[in-house]
Amino acid sequence: MESVGNIILYFVIAVSIIVFSVLTVTTRKILRSATYLLFTLFATAALYFQMDYPFLGAVQIAVYAGGIVVLFVFAILLTQQPGKDQQQMQSTRRALALTATLLGVALTAYCLFSYANFAGKIVPQAAEFDIQTIGRFLLSTDKLGYLLPFEAISILLLACIIGGVVIARKR
Protein backbone atom coordinates (compact mmCIF):
# COMPACT_ATOMS: atom_id res chain seq x y z
CA MET A 1 0.00 0.00 0.00
CA GLU A 2 1.21 3.41 -0.81
CA SER A 3 1.10 6.20 1.62
CA VAL A 4 -1.82 8.52 1.20
CA GLY A 5 0.52 11.43 0.70
CA ASN A 6 2.15 9.67 -2.12
CA ILE A 7 -1.15 8.96 -3.76
CA ILE A 8 -2.33 12.50 -3.36
CA LEU A 9 0.95 13.70 -4.75
CA TYR A 10 0.56 11.38 -7.69
CA PHE A 11 -2.91 12.69 -8.47
CA VAL A 12 -1.79 16.28 -8.21
CA ILE A 13 1.03 15.55 -10.62
CA ALA A 14 -1.12 13.52 -13.02
CA VAL A 15 -3.85 16.09 -13.13
CA SER A 16 -1.43 18.93 -13.69
CA ILE A 17 0.32 17.01 -16.43
CA ILE A 18 -2.95 16.38 -18.20
CA VAL A 19 -4.37 19.85 -17.68
CA PHE A 20 -1.25 21.74 -18.61
CA SER A 21 -0.60 19.51 -21.62
CA VAL A 22 -4.05 20.20 -22.94
CA LEU A 23 -3.69 23.88 -22.21
CA THR A 24 -0.34 23.98 -23.96
CA VAL A 25 -1.84 22.93 -27.23
CA THR A 26 -5.13 24.73 -26.96
CA THR A 27 -4.22 28.20 -25.79
CA ARG A 28 -4.26 30.88 -28.44
CA LYS A 29 -1.36 32.86 -27.12
CA ILE A 30 2.00 31.37 -27.81
CA LEU A 31 3.72 32.81 -24.79
CA ARG A 32 1.12 31.20 -22.61
CA SER A 33 1.67 28.03 -24.50
CA ALA A 34 5.32 28.14 -23.55
CA THR A 35 4.40 28.86 -19.95
CA TYR A 36 2.05 25.91 -19.79
CA LEU A 37 4.80 23.80 -21.27
CA LEU A 38 6.99 24.95 -18.42
CA PHE A 39 4.38 23.80 -15.97
CA THR A 40 4.08 20.47 -17.71
CA LEU A 41 7.80 20.02 -17.52
CA PHE A 42 7.81 20.89 -13.84
CA ALA A 43 5.10 18.34 -13.29
CA THR A 44 7.16 15.78 -15.14
CA ALA A 45 10.15 16.63 -12.98
CA ALA A 46 7.96 16.13 -9.97
CA LEU A 47 7.02 12.75 -11.29
CA TYR A 48 10.68 11.82 -11.56
CA PHE A 49 11.27 12.95 -8.02
CA GLN A 50 8.32 10.93 -6.91
CA MET A 51 9.74 7.89 -8.60
CA ASP A 52 13.05 8.34 -6.76
CA TYR A 53 15.08 9.65 -9.66
CA PRO A 54 16.24 12.88 -8.12
CA PHE A 55 19.10 13.32 -10.55
CA LEU A 56 16.82 13.01 -13.50
CA GLY A 57 14.37 15.38 -11.99
CA ALA A 58 17.14 17.84 -11.43
CA VAL A 59 18.30 17.50 -15.01
CA GLN A 60 14.74 17.90 -16.20
CA ILE A 61 14.35 21.12 -14.36
CA ALA A 62 17.73 22.44 -15.23
CA VAL A 63 17.80 21.56 -18.90
CA TYR A 64 14.21 21.56 -19.91
CA ALA A 65 12.60 24.08 -17.67
CA GLY A 66 15.64 26.18 -17.32
CA GLY A 67 17.21 25.93 -20.73
CA ILE A 68 14.76 24.94 -23.38
CA VAL A 69 11.80 26.90 -22.19
CA VAL A 70 13.93 29.97 -21.87
CA LEU A 71 15.06 29.42 -25.39
CA PHE A 72 11.44 29.16 -26.47
CA VAL A 73 10.58 32.34 -24.70
CA PHE A 74 13.43 34.14 -26.37
CA ALA A 75 12.44 32.80 -29.76
CA ILE A 76 8.86 33.79 -29.19
CA LEU A 77 9.79 37.23 -28.12
CA LEU A 78 12.04 37.59 -31.12
CA THR A 79 9.47 36.52 -33.63
CA GLN A 80 6.18 37.61 -32.18
CA GLN A 81 4.47 40.84 -31.35
CA PRO A 82 3.34 40.20 -27.80
CA GLY A 83 -0.37 39.77 -27.26
CA LYS A 84 -1.13 38.84 -30.79
CA ASP A 85 -3.29 35.79 -31.08
CA GLN A 86 -2.17 32.84 -33.08
CA GLN A 87 -4.02 32.12 -36.24
CA GLN A 88 -6.15 29.06 -36.17
CA MET A 89 -6.08 26.28 -38.69
CA GLN A 90 -9.24 25.62 -40.63
CA SER A 91 -11.79 23.93 -38.47
CA THR A 92 -12.02 20.89 -40.74
CA ARG A 93 -8.37 20.35 -40.37
CA ARG A 94 -8.54 20.70 -36.62
CA ALA A 95 -11.42 18.28 -36.47
CA LEU A 96 -9.45 15.86 -38.58
CA ALA A 97 -6.39 16.22 -36.38
CA LEU A 98 -8.52 15.78 -33.28
CA THR A 99 -10.12 12.66 -34.67
CA ALA A 100 -6.78 11.23 -35.62
CA THR A 101 -5.32 12.04 -32.23
CA LEU A 102 -8.24 10.56 -30.37
CA LEU A 103 -8.05 7.52 -32.58
CA GLY A 104 -4.39 7.06 -31.73
CA VAL A 105 -4.98 7.64 -28.06
CA ALA A 106 -7.91 5.26 -28.07
CA LEU A 107 -5.87 2.64 -29.80
CA THR A 108 -3.01 2.94 -27.36
CA ALA A 109 -5.42 3.03 -24.47
CA TYR A 110 -7.04 -0.12 -25.75
CA CYS A 111 -3.66 -1.80 -25.82
CA LEU A 112 -2.80 -0.52 -22.38
CA PHE A 113 -6.05 -1.70 -20.87
CA SER A 114 -5.89 -5.00 -22.57
CA TYR A 115 -2.74 -5.49 -20.49
CA ALA A 116 -4.45 -4.06 -17.45
CA ASN A 117 -4.21 -7.40 -15.67
CA PHE A 118 -0.50 -7.04 -15.68
CA ALA A 119 0.03 -3.34 -15.83
CA GLY A 120 -2.63 -2.56 -13.31
CA LYS A 121 -1.12 -4.82 -10.68
CA ILE A 122 2.55 -4.15 -10.84
CA VAL A 123 3.93 -1.69 -8.31
CA PRO A 124 7.20 0.20 -8.15
CA GLN A 125 10.07 -1.27 -6.26
CA ALA A 126 12.43 0.91 -4.45
CA ALA A 127 16.05 1.01 -5.53
CA GLU A 128 18.09 4.09 -4.81
CA PHE A 129 21.11 5.08 -6.80
CA ASP A 130 23.22 7.93 -5.65
CA ILE A 131 24.87 10.46 -7.90
CA GLN A 132 28.20 8.71 -7.50
CA THR A 133 26.85 5.52 -8.95
CA ILE A 134 25.25 7.36 -11.82
CA GLY A 135 28.46 9.18 -12.53
CA ARG A 136 30.44 5.98 -12.46
CA PHE A 137 28.03 4.31 -14.85
CA LEU A 138 28.12 7.28 -17.12
CA LEU A 139 31.86 7.28 -17.48
CA SER A 140 32.64 3.58 -17.23
CA THR A 141 33.63 1.32 -20.03
CA ASP A 142 32.19 -1.77 -18.36
CA LYS A 143 29.44 -3.91 -19.60
CA LEU A 144 26.88 -1.51 -18.28
CA GLY A 145 28.97 1.59 -18.86
CA TYR A 146 27.69 4.54 -20.87
CA LEU A 147 30.90 6.13 -21.97
CA LEU A 148 30.30 5.62 -25.66
CA PRO A 149 26.82 7.18 -25.77
CA PHE A 150 28.13 9.89 -23.54
CA GLU A 151 30.89 10.70 -25.96
CA ALA A 152 28.53 10.43 -28.88
CA ILE A 153 26.19 12.88 -27.35
CA SER A 154 29.05 15.23 -26.64
CA ILE A 155 30.01 15.18 -30.26
CA LEU A 156 26.40 15.75 -31.18
CA LEU A 157 26.27 18.73 -28.90
CA LEU A 158 29.45 20.03 -30.43
CA ALA A 159 27.96 19.65 -33.86
CA CYS A 160 24.89 21.45 -32.68
CA ILE A 161 26.95 24.29 -31.38
CA ILE A 162 28.77 24.60 -34.63
CA GLY A 163 25.54 24.27 -36.57
CA GLY A 164 23.90 26.88 -34.40
CA VAL A 165 26.76 29.26 -35.00
CA VAL A 166 26.64 28.68 -38.71
CA ILE A 167 22.93 29.13 -38.90
CA ALA A 168 22.81 32.17 -36.74
CA ARG A 169 25.69 33.86 -38.50
CA LYS A 170 24.75 37.03 -40.27
CA ARG A 171 25.16 36.75 -44.00
62-101 residues in contact with other proteins (CB under 8 A) are 63-64, 67-68, 71-72, 74-76, 78-80, 86-89, 93-94, 96-98, 100-101
**Residue among 26, 64, 12, 67 nearest 42 (CA):** 64
10 Å CB burial of residue 38 (0-12, 13-18, 19+) is buried
**Residue among 134, 29, 169, 146 nearest 86 (CA):** 29
Interface residue with other proteins, options 12, 25, 131, 139 (CB under 8 A): 25
Does position 148 interact with other proteins (CB under 8 A)? The reply is: no
Q: Based on CB atoms, which residue is closest to other proteins, 102 or 141?
A: 102
Q: What is residue 61's DSSP assignment?
A: I
Does position 46 interact with other proteins (CB under 8 A)? The reply is: no
Does position 131 interact with other proteins (CB under 8 A)? The reply is: no
Q: Based on CB atoms, which residue is closest to other proteins, 137 or 141?
A: 137
Does position 139 interact with other proteins (CB under 8 A)? The reply is: no
Q: How far is the CB of 11 from other proteins (least distance, A)?
A: 9
